[in-house]
Each structure stands twice: as structure tokens, then as C-alpha cells.
């Protein structure tokens, strides 16, 4: 225990006076933007933080509720939690009890919801601090995970503010899950859990003798949970309780559980025959004005002894403090290499810090959010997320590509998702998953210039002999070529990027126009890659494939004013003028532009169709009009309520592509509108409901009575996409096969922007300015003071700093950014 007279923490305590951004009645960004401060816990929905390292993580909302996991946020959940966004009080609690007055309250709103004299929840990059003050006791509870070790840490600082001596009990409480979540049959699950009380270590341990995933060696449900946990206090613990009913009491109330009713000894029910929870009681005495530093540790390891040892290593206030410093420093360092500055400060703090953090912490490491505890790797999802590493740590992108390649079969097909730990994989007839490997590897080569990735070995699911990555990609192409309709369009199978188009092609005749457009760009890229590898024949073949595909799309899928989306097995179209619902689909327009499938007049028409049919105040709708009734011939997309998610909502993942397409065509006005529309920090929280500091998966479209309401936050592919679209298409600093290209399309309200980013070992300082004296669409580039006529930056000297000055004329809508194509290039960038 460490109590003593100290100055109270002031670092961020006084945030809010100046420099705050996006202030609303619920909170604001602290100056600098790396903390969002919730000032009123009664939010429309939980606003959470998703804090993870590559192995362990936790979710915590402004009420303190949430869950924790190791290695897989669905199969290896440590702390039991119930998904209930209206009644957000489950998972972990931290109680205080005044031993003189008997008063009981929680140091975060859940579960007691006391009236605090002060409250703030600071969600930061890699930590959350909940500050409360009540009855002369100020508390700061900080939750985070160590940068590397499999420990979750709770730092706790208490300060006596009423000028009197206090005798307190601190009581953290959590419910053990130690297995697959959600576990609706708790009465079954608890039959296997075992806990122990280790008073000398001030710790409770937990593990489970059954893990309900298949075991390759022992068969069905016949294996133990492969981890043990220890929950330990950083100060002595006077008591521990391991049974929920004993803690809560009969007819109990979470606001005043029986265990906190008085000083009676706890029954301390541990072992194998209880409803396993962990509650510790730590008695603390504080003199007038004194400060106490303590905390708790949740450590997870392969066995009980190692978990206890790990917990004890961190269960010291100084160790918790040091770990917090290291964890936040690691995040800052990770995010420091690529920064943008635009006239919209909320966009900067999102793109530089929050969205990349979202992509890494929630999507790649945790694979979890409050709306979805996934734990699995989606074949297409995490490959797209891995783009976030391209400019900040490309080696990790390369590793992600190898991991996914190892989840491909020899026939080129892949599992739609798989669970790390159990390696359960979902085999489907989705048609696009396998191609995202080609996508991300091409992006990696464009960024780094390194072809070595093509030789990275990866086994197949049905053949342990490793094959180079280039073979994996070729097998994927070969499979897609085999699944092509007689008129040359790829088959949609059980769905493409849009999972919900799940019934169009179950008989392997329905076609996907979007998939054709996506494939056309990949063929262009891989034609270049093969050329650079010296395989001119293969380069030529892929180029020809592309030419034929583009011709087929333009011949069969053009509807007169936009591209149709797909056909059913019977040949009938969706996304066509003849459809009453689902008449125009966004992706078939944006990717026609992005992958140079549409000739210029058609490209302009596509964007006009987006403006005319899909532009909502909240961004670009995925389709319109929404489907009002389930249509089993299309798929489950039609089963969502109209206006929700893919069914006519703004699906932010795809909405980012609309920004890129608008920028590519020089439609600066549309770029500006779409960027503001998607920016969560610019929304009215009473309409929008969701967190202002991360992207949601979807925002309700006009067919919903709640148009503009966001949901499914954190767990969305848009987190990695938006920073890339902003950097590469809006600021226009874009790796191409010719080198780094500078081709901005600044929204009309912006005159300047800047970027710092690495490029092939050098550090670039890019300044961008729009000058109305320049001709519309003109771009002038200077590198270290010397004009670059081609507007490109190729080789640079590693270790140097390069200054790039970009001046552009006013945007010229409709003029698709021309690019100096290398001779070998097929078409797309
Ligand atoms: C979900 C899926 C993703 C898919 C998207 C659109 O986000 O995880 O794979 O592309 O929906 O349907």
C-alpha cells in the first residue's frame, strides 16, 4: 500500500478550458486530440475504448463496463460480459465502501450510478481513465494493457478532498468466463471452472477444465481452456470472494451487494463448485488530503503458477505506472511516422491517431468491439485492415499477407474467416475473399518497391508444403477465372465484398459486376508485377485478361447512366434501372472509376449517379432505394430493416471509396461534402448517438426513421481505409508503379495541407497549396526546390529528409487524374 501526501495529478485534469475540439453536451476532445473526455456518462449509447496489444485486450465504456480476452476475443474471453447497449452494466466493477459510514458506491458509473460531484472518462490512445469524485474522495481509475505482456492493468489513485480521515474498502469485482463467449448457458459453463484464493499473493486465480471448441487431438469438447488467469491487487487484500451468489446475496442489488453490507467475513467460496467470480477487498486508510496509489492486475499465462508470477511482477503501483508510460509511448511512436495536417483539425486527429489506432487495436489485434466480439480473422477484412501498416510498419502488413495465404487451399479458394487458436474455418462460395491477397500484396510492392514479398513462403490448408506468395495469388486468379460466366463476367457465388448478396449466385451462374471491376484493377497491377519479375508472357496474359474483362463489363453491365451491380442465377439484374428497390449500387460506380474500367464519359456519369441517387447527409449510401421486404433471391441484405447497414445505409467502409472516386475525378466539392459527412466528430451526438472519435460501421440512411444514427462502432473496415483515402486521394500523395505521385483534390474550403510520411527509407515533408492562378487541374511539384515535370518521386536516398512542395490549380471536375503510365502498365494505378 502506498499512501502519502502528494500533489494530486494535474496532467489532464483541467482539460477543457482551451484548445478543446468537438465540444458537445457529452464531452470534447482534450487539446491535442489524443484524449476524448466524456463529461456526462448518460450517453445515448456506450462510448467505448478498445485497448489491445497483439495478444490481450479489453473493452471499456464510459460506465467502466466491459470485457477482457486473450488471443481470441470470442473463444478465449476471460471476463464475462453481456452485450446490452441500452443497459451497459456488466463485466467488471470497482466499488468503494466507507467503513465508517457504511456508504457503498462505484468508482465508475456502473453499477451504482451514484451522483458524482465530478465525473470524466478520458478515452485515450491505449488507455482509459475514469475520474470520479464523491463524498470527499477523488478517484482516478486507469485501465490499459501492457505493451507486450499478457497483462491487463488497472492503476488507481485516490485522493481525500474533504479534509478528514477515511477508512475505506476498495472492492473490484469481475465474473470469470475463461472460454467461449457469449456463454448463454452459464449453468453449464460454470461446471468446469475452478478458482483459488491466494491471500499471500492478494490474488484469485481461475481456469476452466473444459473449452467448448473442437480439439484436433482429443475430439469434441474434451480439452481444457489453455490458459490460467490471476487477478491480483497491488496492495494487500483482506479478503477474497469467488462465488457470485455469496457476493451479491439473495435478492441482491448490484448497487449494494451483500458482501459490502457490513464488515462480516466473506465466506470465501473457491474451488470447483461455485458460480465463479473474483472480488477482492483491500482496506485503505487515508488522512486528510492524502493520496493513495494502488491498482489491480489481470494476468494470463499457460498455467496457474505462471499467471500468479506474472501478476505479482506487475502488482506494484510503480510497475503499473511504468507500464502505462511504456504502453502509451509505444502507441505514440507507432503513430508518429505518418501524419497529415489539414484545415479540419478533427479530421487530423482522426486520421493521424484515432482511426489508425482503431484499425490496429480493434480490428487487427483485438478483433472486437462492443457491437461484435469476433476473434476471427476475416480473409478479406484483416487484409484490408493491414493496409494501415503500409506507411508505418510495412513488415507487419507483409506478415499479415503470409498469415492469410496460409489459409488458402491448393485450388485457390480460401476460408471466409478462421479462428486463431482453434483454427476453425468457414468454407464458403464467396467469390472475392481470395483476391484481397492480390490486392494487399500489390499495395505493399507499390509502397515499398520490394518484390521480395512474392517469394515469402506460405503453406496451403490442404498441403503443408509451402509455396511462394506469388503462387498463392496466381491460384486465386486461376480460381476466379474458372468461375467466370460465358460472357466473361466473374461469378458472384455466395456473395462478394457485400456479404449480404448471399443468394444471387448459389447455382454458380449469377455474376458480379463489382467483382469484375475489382479484378480488372488487380490484373493491371499484377501485369506490372510480372513484368518486373521478368515474366513478360504472364504480364501479357494478365493484360489481355484485363482488356477482355473491361470490355465485357462495358458491354453487358452499363445501364445507360450507371453500372449495374450483379445478376441472379436466372440472369436478371440488380442495381439496374428496371429495379424498383436496389436500383443503384455504390460500389459498382466507385470501383469502375478507381480501377479505370469506365471510359471518361461513363466515369463522369457514375459520379453523377452517386450524386443523384446515393448522396445522403450522412455520406454515400451503399444502395438506393433500400429493400423494404426480404427477397430470398437476393440474400440477407434485403432482410435488414430498410435504411440499416448495407440495406440502404451509409456503410462507411464503402463510403470511403466514394471519397477516393470523387477525388480521382477531381470533384472537390463532393470530396468535401463526403469527408464532412463521414467525420464522426462533426455530428450532432443526439442524432448520431455513437462515439465521436472512431468510425462506425454504418449510419442509418433515409429509409430509417433514425436517418443519421450511427452504430457498429470500432469493428469496421473503414478505420484503415479512411486515412489511406485521405492521404492518397484527397491529399493525393499516392504510390504508383511510377513512383510516388502528387495529385491532390482538396475540398473547396481548403487552401493548404501538409503531410509527413516515410518513402522508401527517406522522410518526406510534403506541403500542398491550392493556387487559383494555376490552371484548373494543374499540379506543379518541386522536390528539394527543383521542379519535377512528371510530378513524381521515384528513388530517394534512404536516411535523408526530402521536401516536396505541391501546388495545384483549382479542381477540374470530371477530369480523371491523368497519370504518366509506364510503358508496361496496363491501365490502373
Ligand atoms: C462486413 C463484413 C465484411 C463485408 C462487409 C460488407 O463488414 O465483415 O467482410 O465486406 O460486411 O458486406
Q: Which three cell numbers stand for residue 426?
A: 468457414
From the CA of 716, how far away is ligand 1's center (Å)? 8
CA dihedral 535, 541, 542, 548 (to 10 degrees): 170
From the CA of 497, how far away is ligand 1's center (Å)? 6
From the CA of 335, how far away is ligand 1's center (Å)? 26
495 touches ligand 1 (CB under 6 Å)? no
- How far apart, in Å, are the Cα atoms of 150 and each of 53, 65, 187, 211, 230? 8, 20, 28, 20, 11
Return d(Cα 327, Cα 125) in angstroms, integer: 9
User: What is residue 826's predicted lDDT score, i.e. its pLDDT?
Assistant: 39
Q: Which residues contact 15 (CB under 8 A, 6 or more apart)?
A: 28, 30, 31, 35, 37, 120, 122
Cβ–Cβ under 8 Å, residues 624 and 648:
yes
Q: Which three cell numbers stand for residue 478?
A: 486461376
CA dihedral for 345, 347, 352, 357, sign (positive or negative): positive
For a mutational test of ligand 1's pocket, the pick from 499, 514, 621, 639, i.e. the residue with the most ligand atoms closer than 8 A to its C-beta, is: 499
State residue 771 phi and psi, 5-degree precision: -120, 120
User: What is residue 217's predicted lDDT score, i.e. its pLDDT?
Assistant: 87
Q: Which three cell numbers stand for residue 272?
A: 470447483
625 touches ligand 1 (CB under 6 Å)? no
Q: Are strands 27-29 and 457-460 parallel, antiparallel or unpaired?
A: unpaired
User: What is residue 6's predicted lDDT score, i.e. its pLDDT?
Assistant: 39
User: What is residue 8's predicted lDDT score, i.e. its pLDDT?
Assistant: 33
Cβ–Cβ under 8 Å, residues 757 and 742:
no
From the CA of 696, how far away is ligand 1's center (Å)? 13
Q: Which atom of ligand 1 is nearest to the CA of 651?
A: 6
**Which residue is closest in CA terms to ligand 1's atom 3?**
381
Q: Which residues contact 467 (CB under 8 A, 6 or more apart)?
A: 457, 458, 459, 460
From the CA of 323, how far away is ligand 1's center (Å)? 35
* Structure letter (DSSP) for residue 494: T
496 touches ligand 1 (CB under 6 Å)? no
Residue whose C-alpha is closest to residue 357's, from 693, 734, 711, 733: 693
Adjacent-strand bridge partners of 742: 733
432 touches ligand 1 (CB under 6 Å)? no
From the CA of 638, how far away is ligand 1's center (Å)? 15
* Structure letter (DSSP) for residue 353: I
State residue 465 phi and psi, 5-degree precision: -70, 120
User: Which residues in the chain land under pLDDT 70?
Assistant: 1-17, 815-829
From the CA of 625, how far away is ligand 1's center (Å)? 20
H-helix or E-strand spanning residue 38: strand 35-38
109 touches ligand 1 (CB under 6 Å)? no
From the CA of 489, how far away is ligand 1's center (Å)? 22
User: What is residue 815's predicted lDDT score, i.e. its pLDDT?
Assistant: 63
Return d(Cα 288, Cα 613) in angstroms, integer: 66
User: What is residue 519's predicted lDDT score, i.e. its pLDDT?
Assistant: 99
499 touches ligand 1 (CB under 6 Å)? yes
Return d(Cα 445, Cα 62) in angstroms, integer: 41
How much is the pTM? 0.96
User: What is residue 816's predicted lDDT score, i.e. its pLDDT?
Assistant: 57
**Which residue is closest in CA terms to ligand 1's atom 10?**
497
Question: Residue 575: which region, alpha, beta or left (left: phi > 0; alpha: psi -120 to 50)?
Answer: left
Residue whose C-alpha is closest to residue 821's, from 743, 744, 737, 735: 737
Q: Which residues of 381-402 are buried (b: 16+ CB within 10 A; e: fewer)?
A: bbbbbbbbbbbbebebbbebbb
Q: Which atom of ligand 1 is nearest to the CA of 380?
A: 9
Adjacent-strand bridge partners of 805: 767, 782
Return d(Cα 133, Cα 108) in angstroms, integer: 10
Amino acid at each position: 500500500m502506498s499512501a502519502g501526501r502528494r500533489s494530486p495529478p494535474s496532467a489532464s485534469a483541467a482539460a477543457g478550458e482551451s484548445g478543446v475540439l468537438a465540444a458537445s453536451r457529452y464531452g470534447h476532445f482534450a487539446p491535442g486530440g489524443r484524449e476524448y473526455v466524456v463529461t456526462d456518462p448518460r450517453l445515448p449509447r456506450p462510448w467505448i475504448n478498445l485497448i489491445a496489444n497483439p495478444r490481450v485486450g479489453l473493452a471499456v465504456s464510459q460506465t467502466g463496463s466491459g470485457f477482457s480476452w486473450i488471443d481470441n476475443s470470442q473463444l478465449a474471453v476471460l471476463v464475462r460480459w453481456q452485450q446490452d447497449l441500452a443497459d451497459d452494466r456488466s463485466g467488471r466493477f470497482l466499488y468503494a465502501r466507507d467503513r465508517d459510514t457504511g456508504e457503498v458506491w462505484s468508482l465508475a458509473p456502473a453499477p451504482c450510478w451514484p451522483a458524482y460531484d465530478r465525473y470524466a472518462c478520458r478515452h485515450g490512445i491505449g488507455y482509459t481513465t475514469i475520474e470520479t469524485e464523491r463524498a470527499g474522495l477523488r478517484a482516478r481509475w486507469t485501465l490499459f494493457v501492457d505493451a507486450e505482456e499478457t497483462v491487463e492493468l488497472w492503476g488507481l489513485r485516490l485522493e481525500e478532498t474533504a479534509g478528514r480521515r477515511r477508512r475505506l474498502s476498495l472492492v473490484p469485482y469481475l465474473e470469470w468466463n475463461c472460454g467461449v463467449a457469449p456463454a448463454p448457458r452459464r449453468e453449464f459453463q460454470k461446471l468446469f471452472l475452478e478458482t483459488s484464493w491466494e491471500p499471500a499473493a492478494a490474488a484469485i486465480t481461475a481456469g476452466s477444465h473444459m473449452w467448448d471448441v473442437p480439439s484436433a487431438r482429443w475430439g469434441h469438447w474434451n480439452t481444457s481452456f489453455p490458459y490460467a488467469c490471476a487477478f491480483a491487487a497491488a496492495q494487500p487484500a483482506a479478503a477474497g470472494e469467488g462465488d457470485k451468489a455469496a457476493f451479491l446475496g439473495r435478492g441482491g442489488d448490484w448497487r449494494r451487494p451483500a458482501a459490502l453490507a457490513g464488515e462480516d467475513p466473506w465466506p470465501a467460496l473457491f474451488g470447483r463448485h461455485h458460480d465463479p467470480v473474483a472480488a477482492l477487498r483491500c482496506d485503505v486508510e487515508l488522512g486528510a488530503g492524502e493520496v493513495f496509489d494502488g491498482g489491480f492486475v489481470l494476468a494470463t499465462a499457460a498455467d496457474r503458477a505462471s499467471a500468479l508470477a506474472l501478476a505479482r511482477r506487475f502488482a506494484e503501483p510503480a510497475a503499473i505506472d511504468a507500464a502505462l508510460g511504456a504502453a502509451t509511448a509505444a502507441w505514440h511512436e507507432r503513430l508518429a511516422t505518418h501524419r497529415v495536417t489539414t484545415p479540419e483539425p478533427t479530421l487530423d486527429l482522426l486520421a493521424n491517431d484515432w482511426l489508425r489506432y482503431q484499425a490496429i487495436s480493434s480490428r487487427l489485434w483485438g478483433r472486437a468491439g462492443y457491437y461484435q466480439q469476433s476473434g476471427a480473422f476475416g480473409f478479406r477484412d484483416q487484409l484490408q485492415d493491414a493496409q494501415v501498416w503500409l506507411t508505418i510498419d510495412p513488415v507487419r502488413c507483409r506478415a499479415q499477407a503470409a498469415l492469410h495465404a496460409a489459409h488458402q487451399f491448393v485450388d485457390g479458394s480460401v476460408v471466409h474467416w478462421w479462428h486463431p487458436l482453434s483454427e476453425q474455418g468457414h468454407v464458403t462460395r464467396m467469390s472475392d475473399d481470395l483476391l484481397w491477397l492480390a490486392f494487399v500484396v500489390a499495395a505493399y510492392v507499390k509502397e515499398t518497391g520490394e518484390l521480395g514479398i512474392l517469394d515469402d513462403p506460405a503453406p496451403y490448408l490442404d498441403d503443408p508444403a509451402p509455396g511462394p506468395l506469388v503462387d498463392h495469388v496466381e491460384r486465386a486468379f486461376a480460381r476466379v477465372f474458372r468461375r467466370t460466366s460465358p460472357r466473361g463476367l466473374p461469378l458472384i457465388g455466395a456473395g462478394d465484398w457485400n456479404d449480404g448478396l448471399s443468394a444471387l449466385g448459389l447455382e454458380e451462374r449469377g455474376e458480379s459486376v463489382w467483382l469484375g471491376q475489382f479484378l480488372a484493377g488487380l490484373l493491371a497491377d499484377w501485369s506490372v508485377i510480372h513484368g518486373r519479375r521478368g515474366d513478360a508472357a504472364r504480364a501479357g496474359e494478365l493484360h489481355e485478361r484485363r482488356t477482355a474483362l473491361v470490355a465485357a463489363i462495358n458491354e453487358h453491365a452499363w445501364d445507360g447512366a450507371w453500372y449495374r451491380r450483379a445478376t441472379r442465377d436466372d440472369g436478371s439484374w440488380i442495381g439496374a434501372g428496371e429495379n424498383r428497390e436496389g436500383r443503384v449500387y455504390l460500389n459498382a460506380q466507385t470501383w469502375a472509376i478507381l480501377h479505370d474500367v469506365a471510359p471518361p464519359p461513363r466515369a463522369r456519369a457514375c459520379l453523377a449517379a452517386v450524386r443523384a441517387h446515393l448522396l445522403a447527409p450522412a455520406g454515400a449510401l451503399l444502395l438506393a432505394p433500400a429493400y423494404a421486404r426480404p427477397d430470398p433471391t437476393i440474400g440477407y441484405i434485403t432482410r435488414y430493416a430498410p435504411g440499416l447497414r448495407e440495406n440502404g445505409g451509409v456503410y462507411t467502409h464503402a463510403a470511403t471509396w466514394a471519397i477516393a472516386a470523387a477525388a480521382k475525378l477531381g470533384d472537390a466539392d463532393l470530396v468535401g461534402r463526403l469527408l464532412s459527412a463521414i467525420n464522426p466528430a462533426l455530428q450532432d451526438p443526439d442524432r448520431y448517438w455513437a462515439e465521436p472519435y472512431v468510425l462506425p460501421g454504418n449510419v442509418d440512411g433515409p429509409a430509417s426513421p433514425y436517418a443519421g444514427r450511427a452504430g457498429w462502432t470500432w469493428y469496421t473496415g473503414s478505420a484503415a481505409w479512411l486515412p489511406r483515402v485521405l492521404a492518397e486521394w484527397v491529399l493525393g500523395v499516392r504510390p504508383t508503379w511510377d513512383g510516388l505521385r502528387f495529385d491532390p483534390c482538396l475540398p473547396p474550403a481548403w487552401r493548404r495541407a501538409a503531410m509527413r510520411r516515410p518513402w522508401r527509407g527517406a522522410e518526406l515533408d510534403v506541403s500542398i497549396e491550392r493556387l487559383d492562378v494555376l490552371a484548373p487541374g494543374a499540379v506543379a511539384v518541386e522536390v528539394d526546390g527543383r521542379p519535377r515535370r512528371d510530378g513524381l518521386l521515384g528513388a530517394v536516398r534512404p536516411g535523408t529528409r526530402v521536401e516536396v512542395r505541391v501546388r495545384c490549380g483549382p479542381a477540374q471536375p470530371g477530369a480523371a487524374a491523368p497519370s504518366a503510365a509506364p510503358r508496361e502498365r496496363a491501365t490502373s494505378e
